Chains A and B, each alone.
Chain A
Protein backbone atom coordinates (compact mmCIF):
# COMPACT_ATOMS: atom_id res chain seq x y z
CA UNK A 1 0.00 0.00 0.00
CA UNK A 2 1.04 3.59 -0.49
CA UNK A 3 1.26 6.32 2.17
CA UNK A 4 2.06 9.98 1.73
CA UNK A 5 4.51 11.55 4.20
CA UNK A 6 5.03 15.26 4.83
CA UNK A 7 7.98 16.70 6.78
CA UNK A 8 8.04 20.06 8.52
CA UNK A 9 10.68 22.44 9.86
CA UNK A 10 14.02 20.90 10.81
CA UNK A 11 12.73 17.43 9.86
CA UNK A 12 12.20 18.52 6.25
CA UNK A 13 15.82 19.72 6.33
CA UNK A 14 17.03 16.32 7.54
CA UNK A 15 14.86 14.47 4.99
CA UNK A 16 16.07 16.85 2.27
CA UNK A 17 12.49 17.11 1.01
CA UNK A 18 9.07 18.32 2.14
CA UNK A 19 7.19 15.17 1.21
CA UNK A 20 7.49 11.72 -0.30
CA UNK A 21 5.47 8.55 -0.85
CA UNK A 22 6.34 5.14 0.54
CA UNK A 23 5.18 1.68 -0.33
CA UNK A 24 4.56 0.01 3.03
CA UNK A 25 3.20 -3.21 4.54
CA UNK A 26 -0.53 -3.54 5.11
CA UNK A 27 -0.11 -3.91 8.89
CA UNK A 28 1.81 -0.66 9.41
CA UNK A 29 1.47 1.16 12.75
CA UNK A 30 2.81 4.51 13.94
CA UNK A 31 5.47 2.69 16.00
CA UNK A 32 6.61 0.64 12.99
CA UNK A 33 6.61 3.75 10.82
CA UNK A 34 8.79 5.53 13.41
CA UNK A 35 11.44 2.77 13.26
CA UNK A 36 11.42 2.76 9.45
CA UNK A 37 11.80 6.55 9.52
CA UNK A 38 14.80 6.40 11.88
CA UNK A 39 16.36 3.68 9.74
CA UNK A 40 16.08 5.91 6.68
CA UNK A 41 17.02 9.15 8.45
CA UNK A 42 19.16 8.29 11.51
CA UNK A 43 19.67 12.01 12.30
CA UNK A 44 15.97 12.29 13.17
CA UNK A 45 16.82 10.22 16.26
CA UNK A 46 18.44 13.31 17.80
CA UNK A 47 15.25 15.35 17.36
CA UNK A 48 11.95 15.45 19.17
CA UNK A 49 8.99 14.92 16.87
CA UNK A 50 5.37 13.82 16.80
CA UNK A 51 3.59 11.82 14.14
CA UNK A 52 0.17 12.82 12.86
CA UNK A 53 -1.99 10.39 10.89
CA UNK A 54 -4.71 12.12 8.87
CA UNK A 55 -4.07 15.31 10.90
CA UNK A 56 -4.41 13.60 14.29
CA UNK A 57 -1.36 13.23 16.53
CA UNK A 58 -1.10 9.48 17.09
CA UNK A 59 0.52 7.06 19.54
CA UNK A 60 2.64 4.12 18.46
CA UNK A 61 -0.19 1.55 18.54
CA UNK A 62 -2.34 3.42 15.99
CA UNK A 63 -2.60 1.63 12.61
CA UNK A 64 -1.73 3.51 9.43
CA UNK A 65 -4.18 2.59 6.73
CA UNK A 66 -3.89 2.76 2.96
CA UNK A 67 -3.62 6.26 1.46
CA UNK A 68 -3.11 7.83 4.89
CA UNK A 69 -1.59 11.26 5.16
CA UNK A 70 1.29 10.97 7.61
CA UNK A 71 3.03 14.10 8.92
CA UNK A 72 6.26 14.29 10.90
CA UNK A 73 6.05 17.33 13.17
CA UNK A 74 8.89 19.04 15.07
CA UNK A 75 8.18 20.94 18.34
CA UNK A 76 5.51 23.62 17.97
CA UNK A 77 6.48 27.30 18.08
CA UNK A 78 3.27 29.24 17.52
CA UNK A 79 2.44 32.45 19.33
Chain B
Protein backbone atom coordinates (compact mmCIF):
# COMPACT_ATOMS: atom_id res chain seq x y z
CA UNK B 1 0.00 0.00 0.00
CA UNK B 2 1.25 3.41 -0.95
CA UNK B 3 0.94 6.36 1.41
CA UNK B 4 -0.30 9.26 -0.66
CA UNK B 5 -1.26 12.80 0.24
CA UNK B 6 -4.49 13.33 2.09
CA UNK B 7 -4.73 9.73 3.26
CA UNK B 8 -5.66 8.85 6.79
CA UNK B 9 -2.74 9.07 9.23
CA UNK B 10 -0.97 5.73 9.27
CA UNK B 11 0.89 4.23 12.17
CA UNK B 12 4.57 5.19 12.20
CA UNK B 13 5.77 3.51 15.39
CA UNK B 14 7.00 -0.06 15.51
CA UNK B 15 8.18 -1.95 18.60
CA UNK B 16 11.93 -2.57 18.62
CA UNK B 17 14.35 -2.41 15.67
CA UNK B 18 13.27 -2.14 12.02
CA UNK B 19 14.57 -5.25 10.24
CA UNK B 20 16.42 -5.28 6.88
CA UNK B 21 13.76 -7.77 5.73
CA UNK B 22 11.04 -5.21 6.37
CA UNK B 23 12.98 -2.63 4.32
CA UNK B 24 13.44 -5.06 1.44
CA UNK B 25 9.75 -6.04 1.49
CA UNK B 26 8.85 -2.36 1.32
CA UNK B 27 11.00 -1.96 -1.79
CA UNK B 28 9.45 -5.05 -3.38
CA UNK B 29 5.93 -3.80 -2.73
CA UNK B 30 6.62 -0.70 -4.86
CA UNK B 31 7.76 -2.53 -7.99
CA UNK B 32 4.23 -2.57 -9.40
CA UNK B 33 4.07 1.25 -9.24
CA UNK B 34 5.70 1.96 -12.57
CA UNK B 35 5.26 5.75 -12.42
CA UNK B 36 8.05 5.75 -9.84
CA UNK B 37 11.54 6.45 -11.21
CA UNK B 38 13.47 7.09 -8.00
CA UNK B 39 13.36 5.94 -4.39
CA UNK B 40 15.35 7.61 -1.62
CA UNK B 41 15.78 5.61 1.56
CA UNK B 42 17.13 6.98 4.81
CA UNK B 43 17.99 4.56 7.61
CA UNK B 44 18.94 5.76 11.07
CA UNK B 45 21.25 3.28 12.83
CA UNK B 46 22.24 3.19 16.51
CA UNK B 47 25.87 4.18 17.05
CA UNK B 48 28.09 2.68 19.77
CA UNK B 49 29.23 6.07 21.12
CA UNK B 50 31.86 6.18 23.84
CA UNK B 51 30.50 7.92 26.95
CA UNK B 52 32.08 8.65 30.34
CA UNK B 53 30.46 5.54 31.88
CA UNK B 54 31.18 3.17 28.97
CA UNK B 55 29.99 2.35 25.47
CA UNK B 56 26.41 2.87 24.29
CA UNK B 57 24.77 -0.55 23.83
CA UNK B 58 21.41 0.69 22.54
CA UNK B 59 18.75 3.37 22.77
CA UNK B 60 15.41 2.97 24.50
CA UNK B 61 12.89 5.17 22.70
CA UNK B 62 9.67 6.56 24.12
CA UNK B 63 7.34 9.19 22.71
CA UNK B 64 4.39 11.44 23.34
CA UNK B 65 2.66 9.14 20.89
CA UNK B 66 -0.52 11.06 20.03
CA UNK B 67 1.37 14.30 19.38
CA UNK B 68 4.14 12.43 17.54
CA UNK B 69 1.68 10.70 15.18
CA UNK B 70 0.03 14.06 14.52
CA UNK B 71 3.39 15.71 13.83
CA UNK B 72 4.45 12.86 11.51
CA UNK B 73 1.20 13.38 9.62
CA UNK B 74 1.87 17.13 9.26
CA UNK B 75 5.42 16.47 8.03
CA UNK B 76 4.04 14.02 5.47
CA UNK B 77 1.42 16.49 4.22
CA UNK B 78 4.03 19.27 3.94
CA UNK B 79 6.42 16.99 2.04
CA UNK B 80 3.69 16.19 -0.50
CA UNK B 81 3.04 19.91 -0.97
CA UNK B 82 6.71 20.84 -1.36
CA UNK B 83 7.98 17.97 -3.53
CA UNK B 84 6.74 15.90 -6.44
CA UNK B 85 6.22 12.60 -4.62
CA UNK B 86 4.45 9.39 -5.54
CA UNK B 87 4.53 7.90 -2.07
CA UNK B 88 6.07 8.30 1.31
CA UNK B 89 6.50 5.98 4.28
CA UNK B 90 7.97 6.74 7.69
CA UNK B 91 8.68 4.16 10.41
CA UNK B 92 10.26 4.84 13.79
CA UNK B 93 11.11 2.47 16.62
CA UNK B 94 9.83 2.53 20.18
CA UNK B 95 11.43 0.51 22.98
CA UNK B 96 14.99 -0.78 22.90
CA UNK B 97 17.03 -0.72 19.67
CA UNK B 98 20.52 -2.24 20.13
CA UNK B 99 23.58 -0.64 18.51
CA UNK B 100 23.98 -1.48 14.85
CA UNK B 101 20.23 -1.83 14.34
CA UNK B 102 17.80 0.47 12.55
CA UNK B 103 15.51 2.89 14.43
CA UNK B 104 14.27 5.13 11.59
CA UNK B 105 13.22 4.21 8.05
CA UNK B 106 12.14 6.97 5.68
CA UNK B 107 11.12 5.75 2.22
CA UNK B 108 10.39 8.39 -0.41
CA UNK B 109 9.32 7.63 -3.99
CA UNK B 110 9.07 10.04 -6.90
CA UNK B 111 9.11 10.03 -10.68
CA UNK B 112 12.55 11.74 -10.50
CA UNK B 113 15.66 11.64 -8.31
CA UNK B 114 15.91 15.32 -7.30
CA UNK B 115 12.55 15.37 -5.49
CA UNK B 116 13.36 12.06 -3.78
CA UNK B 117 16.75 13.28 -2.48
CA UNK B 118 15.43 16.63 -1.31
CA UNK B 119 12.27 15.28 0.29
CA UNK B 120 14.13 12.62 2.26
CA UNK B 121 16.51 15.20 3.74
CA UNK B 122 13.63 17.55 4.55
CA UNK B 123 11.66 14.78 6.27
CA UNK B 124 14.56 13.49 8.38
CA UNK B 125 15.45 17.02 9.56
CA UNK B 126 11.81 17.73 10.45
CA UNK B 127 11.55 14.49 12.42
CA UNK B 128 14.73 15.25 14.39
CA UNK B 129 13.59 18.80 15.24
CA UNK B 130 9.84 18.52 15.77
CA UNK B 131 8.62 15.04 16.72
CA UNK B 132 8.35 14.44 20.49
CA UNK B 133 10.44 11.27 20.68
CA UNK B 134 12.78 10.72 23.62
CA UNK B 135 15.82 8.46 23.77
CA UNK B 136 17.62 6.88 26.66
CA UNK B 137 21.15 5.84 25.68
CA UNK B 138 21.90 2.61 27.52
CA UNK B 139 25.53 2.55 28.62
CA UNK B 140 27.70 -0.46 29.47
CA UNK B 141 26.32 -3.45 31.37
CA UNK B 142 25.64 -1.75 34.71
CA UNK B 143 22.23 -0.24 33.95
CA UNK B 144 23.65 3.25 33.49
CA UNK B 145 22.01 5.58 31.00
CA UNK B 146 22.03 9.05 29.54
CA UNK B 147 19.14 11.01 27.98
CA UNK B 148 19.95 11.75 24.36
CA UNK B 149 19.38 15.15 22.72
CA UNK B 150 19.31 15.88 18.99
CA UNK B 151 21.79 18.53 17.87
Contacts and interface: CB of A to CB of B under 8 A. Distances in A.
A8 B134 contact: yes
A6 B64 CA distance: 9
B148 interface: yes
A10 interface: yes
B136 to A, nearest CB: 7
B53 interface: no
Contact of B135 (A6, A55, A71, A77): A77
Given A8-B62, A9-B134, A52-B67, A76 B147 contact: no
Contacts of A9: 62, 134, 136, 147
Interface stretch (B81-89, B108-116, B125-133): B125-133
Interface magnitude class on chain B: 20 to 34
B64 A8 contact: yes
Contacts, number: 68
A77 B64 contact: no
Contact of B128 (A8, A10, A71, A79): A79
Contacts of B148: 77
Contacts of A55: 64, 66-67, 70
Given A55-B67, A76-B150, 19 more contacts: A6-B64, A8-B64, A8-B134, A10-B147, A52-B67, A55-B70, A71-B67, A73-B64, A74-B147, A76-B129, A77-B59, A77-B134, A77-B148, A78-B61, A78-B128, A78-B135, A79-B103, A79-B127, A79-B133
